[in-house]
Structure 1
Amino acid sequence: MAEPVLSVRNLHVRFRTGDGILHAVKGIDLDINPGETVAIVGESGSGKSQTMMSVMGLLASNGWAEGSVKYRGEELVGLSPGRLNNYRGSKLTMIFQEPMTSLDPLYRIGDQLALPLTTHGGLSKAEARKRAIELLELVRIPDPARRIDAYPHEMSGGQRQRVMIAMALANNPDVLIADEPTTALDVTVQARILELLADLQKRLGMSIVFITHDLGVVRRFADRTYVMKRGEVVESGDTDTIFAAPKHPYTQMLIDAEPTGRKEPVASTAPVVLDARNMAVQFTLEKSFFGKATHVLRAVDDVSLRVRAGETVGVVGESGSGKSTLGRAILRLLPASGLVRFEDRNLMPLDRGGMRPLRRHLQLVFQDPFGSLSPRMTAGEIVTEGLLVHEPSISRKDRDRRAAQAFEEVQLDPAWRNRFPHEFSGGQRQRIAIARAMILHPKLVVLDEPTSALDRSVQKEIVELLRGLQKAHGLAYVFISHDLAVVRALSDEIMVMKSGKVVERGTAEEIFDRPEEDYTRDLIAAAFLTERGNAEAATQPLAS
């Protein structure tokens, strides 16, 4: 057998925290062979991401690694940043889980793509720009010659993740570490990106390490799998063998975990919380010399929806379909035209001051938890930040008590509220974001991909949590997601969006059992392809 391109032995990763030393990775061994795909799976907090962050020498300042990490026989642990840079970005590259925090908001996409090409590839600026456009086309960014000059905030979450993939592939690396590489992608693009990575791997001979909670992806693409729990590898081996005959109860639990059940229907007499009609949002992409708009994008085009107390309206569609923009528009976070009525009040004439008293009733859970959590605040301070605005008279002790209660509601240890965001896993950060919204007891919550960063077992818990909160408080949800299994488990009504328009709507049963539009059928087909992960699925063609 060929010598491993990457070999890890007795790796320990620890962090200094306000609660003492956190032992995140506990003496694990793993090997990555040339040209193979290896998956590292486990729940949030299992240590899978920190394992690969230590390989790249990218641990937070309060963390350190002990043990051995060898790339083609060269020891990486203990190398200076300068020597590590000889490998990072060229031989070893990484696609990060949260693209918005990995891309610099002050620089255009093209400049950021050009950096590894000029630094490690030796290309000129002109050559790097040409190659950057080719990379954007490779990862299916529409109109790459135009989008290369966009800033990160001008792209959807899925498009930003595709930019990160393009950046990682820029210099044809030996080992590509993909930390939840398809988390922000809709199901059709996810399937195409995974096939793209598989094709590039075959062509370039690179090894791929998938860090993921999506076992459908693992079963379809990984040659070997390591299962991690609480910093330890509890099972490893050939992927087909692990799925066919898992030996550890934890592995079996991961395989079986998926959101189940259906939401109880809401009464037809329930009061209407939100009534949005003929919503439209447009962005000016280009202006003439005289300031006249020459290229306008209609991100939301004549969309209406109504949500009753206790009801969930699911909004699905591919990246760039306008679903997240719609969510922000109905909360008056973006300029829009149309009518937005919250209970008995028209929100459209209200300015920022007029909206402020209503904000506690209208909450948003963002897609990117790390980007929405201040790194300078503890988790407890983040969760109670809204109380300082909307309930300024309560004491610090009462705020802390309510923070502890909120942590319990989202299945986090209340003792962790003194930790900072970087000390949590991606899934744990998303639960903090949910707690921050729920602590104000809102009436309407727009949930923008709230489970996209969570492993399947935690998704199941969060779905049950959201159902319970909704039933107890009569909450109205607008649930935006590309995860159709979660949408089906939570929604009363589903709207399917494409290019800013609603192409189909109906009950969850109607959409999934009797879809009328080809676009809807493609979404469902791609979702089942990646979710069920069986041998039959691996042979099915992608949705067009």
Structure 2
Amino acid sequence: MPRDNPVHGTMTDPILAIRGLEVRFRTSDGELAAVKGIDLDVDAGETVAIVGESGSGKSQTMMSVMGLLAANGEARGSVKYRGQEILGLPSRALNRYRGRKLSMIFQEPMTSLDPLYRIGDQLAEPLMVHGGLGRKAALKRAEELLDLVRIPDPARRLKSFPHELSGGQRQRVMIAMALANSPDVLIADEPTTALDVTVQARILELLGDLQKRLGMAIVFITHDLGIVRRFADRTYVMKSGEVVEHGPTEGLFAAPKHAYTRMLIEAEPSGRKEPVPTGSPMVLEAKNINVSFHLRQGLFGRSAHEIRAVAGVDLAIRRGETVGVVGESGSGKSTLGRAVLRLLPASGLVRYEDRNLMPLDRKAMRPLRKELQLVFQDPFGSLSPRMTAGEIVTEGLLVHEPGLTRGERDRRAAQAFEEVRLDPLSRHRFPHEFSGGQRQRIAIARAMILKPKLVVLDEPTSALDRSVQKGIVELLRDLQQKHGLAYVFISHDLAVVRALSDEIMVMKAGKVVERGSVAAIFEHPREAYTRELMAAAFLDRREQITSC
């Protein structure tokens, strides 16, 4: 129905009107109700945020709008774009709206980008299909879009494949793709999840500028309430598939009426990690680690462009210690983590307990893999869609503990699910039946079930809402204290890093620019780059952080 437009102050019909929307999934355990009859309006030019914990139904609400539910999902109710009913339209009819009028930025970019096609080709396709551009004009516009989302050297990146970009860079490509045809409604599903804090701030500024220029409406799905408070005109709070509270963002934050809303606002990883016991033995020591990538260029790849991803980095970590590694996308954080685990070629020294890992080949490393685990940044890309969650979690047991019976593996899976705060019965479901945050917890369970000694955690909480992040931080602390685990914790979320780490390394362009204790880095950062990271991370939250 017509109502006051919060942006323009006029009586208008909503550009997107959702009424009585229900989303259900058929599972082996029966029918699962993900969204339970919600109403939601989006006006032209405004930003509407949908917030809630993992599994609240916020992503599935917008997936149903775009006609992108999984094969076992069904949506009922009404979704109208400019008064036209679009829910239930055949794909060909819906394609007149998708990509041009309605566009979506997905939470997990690696699953949305084709690994076999170059970035330029993937950006050019929607410009040619929906915008009517020729290939040459589409590639020129694609380069402009990459520059718009702050990807360095955009002309060269057009020729890159998705695996050659960092997680944050891939997310920026997805943003560029969604904005290609200047949509009326941009649905952004956790669009800054994979981005470091400085790029996050620039992306939000960019989206705001584009919104003003194009009159574009934005539906912002996120668990980061700091972003919501700065960015959204109105906010819908979802819990268990229902809207429990909605209204103008400023008023909702100032005086939340529902207890669940108050809990979300107050949730923040807090406390400090217990110090490492005196005399704790060294688990891993790496010295002068260097990693370079050679990108082939020219006809038949005759010339090569070298990228120095990690340059002369040292790392030492003891039993029970957490070393936090922070820095912008492309700084070399994730590459360093993989290098010390011997998952990619590197030079230097890596000593695990009493063994030098550098001379070991793949076969010699295999027995050590159980003790050296990695939790990936992109959970959906690392979980097989053909296996149940329980089979995924116990897959490593088949290799490292082959004597276990099927029943024993299943019992271990149930225990692992309980440890990461998931219903053990859900281990019989498939990855697409979980929310993004739940899938990340499955990835953590897969690593922890092997009882490792060292775990490299690559953005393990990036897809989780704040309340779940707090629980995961507490879980990681408990597991570490119980088993004496050593963690390399790679993240752009400085609040989580602060709550979990003993020492922090700040990386930029492959090098460590500053390192020190948590107190030294947060209270007295020496480098301008470190201070810039702090300012971007704690914007609008300085009082909360300093009081933790």
Taking structure 2 as the reference length, the TM-score comes to: 0.96
Q: Equivalent residue of 1:268, what SS? A: coil
Identity %: 78
Count the aligned residue pairs.
Answer: 534
Q: Equivalent residue of 2:77, what SS? A: strand
Contact 1:284 1:293 in 2 (8 A): no
Matches of 1:404 and 1:440, distance apart in 2: 14
1:274 aligned partner: 284
Q: Which residue type is aligned with residue 113 of structure 1? A: L
Judge which range, 293-302 or 326-335, deviates more. Answer: 293-302
2:25 to 15, 33, 40: 15
Matches of 2:166 and 2:309, distance apart in 1: 11
Superposed CA deviations along residues 347-394 of structure 1, whole A, max 9, x for unmatched, are 000001000000000000000000000000000000000000000011
Matches of 2:303 and 2:518, distance apart in 1: 40
Matches of 2:87 and 2:208, distance apart in 1: 29
How many angstroms does 1:78 deviate by? 1.6
Q: Which residue type is aligned with residue 98 of structure 1? A: E
1:538 aligned partner: none
Q: Which residue type is aligned with residue 83 of structure 2? A: G
**Structure 1 residues not aligned, in runs of 5+:** 535-544
2:382 aligned partner: 372
1:319 to 329, 334, 338: 329
Matches of 2:531 and 2:80, distance apart in 1: 46
1:128 to 138, 141, 145: 138
2:493 aligned partner: 483
2:6 aligned partner: none
Contact 1:10 1:28 in 2 (8 A): yes
How many angstroms does 1:490 deviate by? 0.3
Matches of 1:531 and 1:79, distance apart in 2: 43
Superposed CA deviations along residues 81-121 of structure 1, whole A, max 9, x for unmatched, are 00000000000000000000000000000000001100000
1:156 aligned partner: 166
Q: Which residue type is aligned with residue 263 of structure 1? A: K
1:106 and 2:116 matched: yes
Q: Equivalent residue of 1:384, what SS? A: helix
1:90 and 2:107 matched: no
Q: Which residue type is aligned with residue 155 of structure 2? A: A
1:499 aligned partner: 509
Matches of 1:235 and 1:287, distance apart in 2: 54
Superposed CA deviations along residues 269-305 of structure 1, whole A, max 9, x for unmatched, are 1000010000000001235779775421100000001
Q: Which residue type is aligned with residue 131 of structure 2? A: G
Q: Equivalent residue of 1:529, what SS? A: coil
2:235 aligned partner: 225
1:137 and 2:143 matched: no
2:5 aligned partner: none
1:239 aligned partner: 249
Matches of 2:300 and 2:212, distance apart in 1: 50
Matches of 1:89 and 1:178, distance apart in 2: 13
2:218 to 208, 211, 214: 208
1:259 aligned partner: 269
Q: Equivalent residue of 2:538, what SS? A: helix
How many angstroms does 1:268 deviate by? 3.4
1:428 aligned partner: 438
1:63 to 73, 76, 95: 73
Alignment of 1:431-446 (within 5 A): 431-446=441-456
RMSD of the TM alignment (CA)?
Answer: 1.1
Q: Which residue type is aligned with residue 496 of structure 1? A: V
Contact 1:68 1:77 in 2 (8 A): yes
Q: Equivalent residue of 2:31, what SS? A: strand
Alignment of 1:338-487 (within 5 A): 338-487=348-497
Matches of 1:357 and 1:53, distance apart in 2: 42
Structure 1 residues 215 and 366: alpha-carbon distance in aligned structure 2, compared to 1, 3 A threshold? same
Alignment of 1:508-527 (within 5 A): 508-527=518-537
How many angstroms does 1:267 deviate by? 2.1
Contact 1:314 1:495 in 2 (8 A): yes
Contact 1:219 1:533 in 2 (8 A): no
Contact 1:187 1:530 in 2 (8 A): no
Contact 1:5 1:72 in 2 (8 A): yes
Contact 1:216 1:532 in 2 (8 A): no
Matches of 1:138 and 1:192, distance apart in 2: 10
2:201 to 191, 196, 201: 191
1:297 and 2:307 matched: yes
Structure 1 residues 35 and 533: alpha-carbon distance in aligned structure 2, compared to 1, 3 A threshold? farther
Q: Equivalent residue of 1:478, what SS? A: strand
Matches of 2:395 and 2:498, distance apart in 1: 32
Matches of 1:440 and 1:294, distance apart in 2: 40
How many angstroms does 1:136 deviate by? 0.2
Q: Equivalent residue of 2:13, what SS? A: coil
2:4 aligned partner: none
How many angstroms does 1:533 deviate by? 10
Q: Equivalent residue of 1:79, what SS? A: coil
Q: Which residue type is aligned with residue 370 of structure 1? A: F
Superposed CA deviations along residues 322-355 of structure 1, whole A, max 9, x for unmatched, are 0000000000000000000010000000001000
How many angstroms does 1:77 deviate by? 1.2
Contact 1:215 1:533 in 2 (8 A): no
